[in-house]
Structure 1
Amino acid sequence: HKRRVLTPMIIREILFYGLQSPQGEQLAAFVTRDRHHARIADVLRHIQTHFSEPLDISALADIASMSQSSLHQHFKAVTNASPLQYIKAIRLHRAQHLLSDSQLSVSEAAWQVGYQSLSQFSREYKRLFGDVPSRVVGSVLN
């Protein structure tokens, strides 16, 4: 019983002295960075699972327990993309996979990955892949 009570106190004391040391600033940055990375990992898992659903930054910030600006900053540091850019890329890569591996039409693939507008989907698809999505369907069927 004593060990269960004392262990957390000893750990806190070690951390306290570590943070007070000359390397304390580096230790604090490391601990904070890891905590932020874990929160961003939670957001990434959520995006991977729910990419075809409407996703907004405020909901993602809530998942990370961060403000929207903090989420944007830490997300970009981890992924090198903003949350919206990342969501678009996930959706477009999944659509490319659907178009090349199935008999889905462009509009069906766009809808399945969460796009509400076919013209927006086609525009963003061409911007990312350099070609129109209908050409992927055509190359599979021929």
Structure 2
Amino acid sequence: MGPRGGALLALVSRQTHFSLISRVLKQIEMKYTENLNVEQLAAEANMSVSAFHHNFKAVTSTSPLQYLKSYRLHKARMMMIHDGMKASAAAMRVGYESASAAMRVGYESASQFSREFKRYFGVTPGEDAARMRTMQGS
């Protein structure tokens, strides 16, 4: 290997890891309503769990599960604002038109969804949706 071989190898390795993580990000975006776990995502990237976690965090600056949670919360927020969906409803399975935003994005517990939503956005789902709808109307 030449004098720049190590640097070139490191660059190619980073690009490869970036493309593998990008592929996983696309999978998360397509399957966010499913019960995903780190082991499945790591397998999708053909990495060990520890290597996947390290590379995922290097690319996204967050852990895989935090990214999934954030993605789900943002999707639910958009459903509440744009589609007028309620944050929570009776526990209905994903796919039914009357299912709540929480259920549609993969949460099985409305109370867990509400807790995580408030922790992430600083307000309850209902308060946030009402505030955002008011902002859109003005």
Please name the residue that 2:108 is paired with. Answer: 116
**Residue 134 of structure 1: which of 106, 116, 126 is its match?**
126
**Residue 55 of structure 1: which of 36, 40, 45 is its match?**
36
**Residue 73 of structure 1: which of 54, 58, 61 is its match?**
54
Distance in 1, Cα, partners of 2:26 & 2:10: 24
Larger Rg: 1
What is the DSSP-based 3-state SS (H/G/I as helix, E as strand, rest coil) of the residue aligned with 2:53? helix
Structure 1 residue 21 and structure 2 residue 21: aligned? no
Distance in 1, Cα, partners of 2:121 & 2:77: 9
Structure 1 residue 84 and structure 2 residue 65: aligned? yes
Deviation string 1:36-81 (CA, Å, 9 cap, x unpaired) is: 1111011000001111111011111111000001110000000000
Name the amino acid aligned to 2:51.
S
Structure 1 residue 23: Cα displacement: 1.1
Give the TM-score taking structure 1 as reference length. Answer: 0.82
Contact conserved, 2:77 with 2:129, CA < 8 A, in 1?
no
Structure 1 residue 138: Cα displacement: 3.6
Give the TM-score taking structure 2 as reference length. Answer: 0.84
Name the amino acid aligned to 2:30.
T
Deviation string 1:92-125 (CA, Å, 9 cap, x unpaired) is: 0011101111221111000001111111111110
Gaps of 5+ in 2: 89-99
Name the amino acid aligned to 2:48.
S
Name the amino acid aligned to 2:125.
P
Please name the residue that 2:20 is paired with. Answer: 39
Name the amino acid aligned to 1:130.
G
Name the amino acid aligned to 1:101.
H
Structure 1 residue 90: Cα displacement: 0.3
Structure 1 moving runs of 4+ over 2 Å? 136-142
Name the amino acid aligned to 2:77.
Q
